[in-house]
Amino acid sequence: MTKEISIGNIKIGGNNPFVFIGGPCVIETEELTSYICEELKKICSEIEIPFIFKTSYDKANRSSVKSYRGPGLKKGIEILKKIKEKYHIPITTDVHCTAQIEEVSEIVDIIQIPAFLSRQTDLLIEAGKTNKVVNVKKGQFLSPYEVKNIIEKIESTGNKKILITERGTFFGYNNLVVDFRSLPIIRSFGYPVIFDATHSVQTPGGLGSASGGNSEFVPYLAKSAIACGCDGIFMEVHPQPHKALSDSKSMINLSEVKPLLETLKKIYLALKNG
């Protein structure tokens, strides 16, 4: 059994139900971000699934220098603060350097470490020092066994509020594959495991100047992850994915979220009651 991580009234891991972490890839406008949050909160409330909102103020690891990155730290944090106060929900966002951590930690409930930075010792340690929950996305280049090193870096600060997110493994060039053995392997280290169902269907750099993706496979991977006993599902969501300014090929449509979460809950309950 994994540790139980508390975020307000939400408890992740242990014997608790799975949580949903969702939202748009990046803040496009304050209005759109707020709308997506409101709709996701409503959906999760109706089907009784704990909800944590996610979006990014800056996508610092975009494929091309010409790609949209977001509103930046100052404006992005202001928007996240408004959303948190308006909807009374936990929020997570990613940081890309140690200089951002202090300001971000004043607003968010979970500090997210991007997959490409999952081995950055200074970043992990500074995040740990905040005593906030730290969610680290396992790098596509790491085996599940190497996650233990990530955990030890954060634990060295005295912080044991850790989540690990699986988001696929490099499978040759411009492709990812999910090895579902990784979920029980990572959980064996004692911390809750989240499955990122949308980034796991990416084709990194597959469009040349941007990442592609196969969003039609998101439901299959999400259902498999719940069946494997993950502690949460992470998905990026947009009302018009084809118009999204980032990760348009891997996000799922807002209209698909409720039926998918209902199915995931049925799988979870079947396993729990079986």
Question: What's the structural domain count of the chain?
Answer: 1
Nearest Cα to Cα of residue 159 among 1, 2, 5: 5
* Angle, CA of 265, 268 and 272, to the nearest 5°: 135
Please give the pLDDT value at position 206. Answer: 83
The encoded tokens of residue 202 equal: 């990416």
Distance CA 230, CA 183 (A): 7
Name the residue with tokens 């992470």: 234
The pLDDT of residue 274 is above 80: no
pTM summary value: 0.97
Distance CA 194, CA 181 (A): 14
Q: How far apart are alpha carbons 16 and 231 in whole angstroms?
A: 8
> Residue 128 to residues 123, 124, 159, 189: CA-CA distances in angstroms?
9, 6, 6, 17
Q: What is the mean pLDDT of residues 96-118?
A: 97
Mean pLDDT, the chain, as a whole number?
96
For residue 24, pLDDT beyond 90:
yes
More confident residue, 67 or 233: 233
User: Alpha helix locations (H) across 156-202?
Assistant: 182-187
**CATH number of the domain encompassing residue 187:** 3.20.20.70
Model confidence pLDDT, tens digit, residues 218-262: 999 999 999 999 999 999 999 999 999 999 999 999 999 999 999
Distance CA 189, CA 173 (A): 30
How large is the average pLDDT for residues 107-111? 98
| Range of the structural domain that residue 123 is part of | 4-273
**Model pLDDT, residue 58:** 93
pLDDT value at residue 212: 87
**pLDDT > 70 in the chain, percent:** 100
How many Å separate Cα 248 from the centre of its chain? 16
> Distance between CA atoms of 23 and 41, rounded to whole angstroms?
10
Which residue stretches of the chain are H helix?
30-47, 73-87, 98-105, 121-129, 147-155, 182-187, 218-227, 254-273
Predicted pLDDT of residue 182 = 98
State phi, psi for 169 to the nearest 5 degrees. Answer: -130, 145
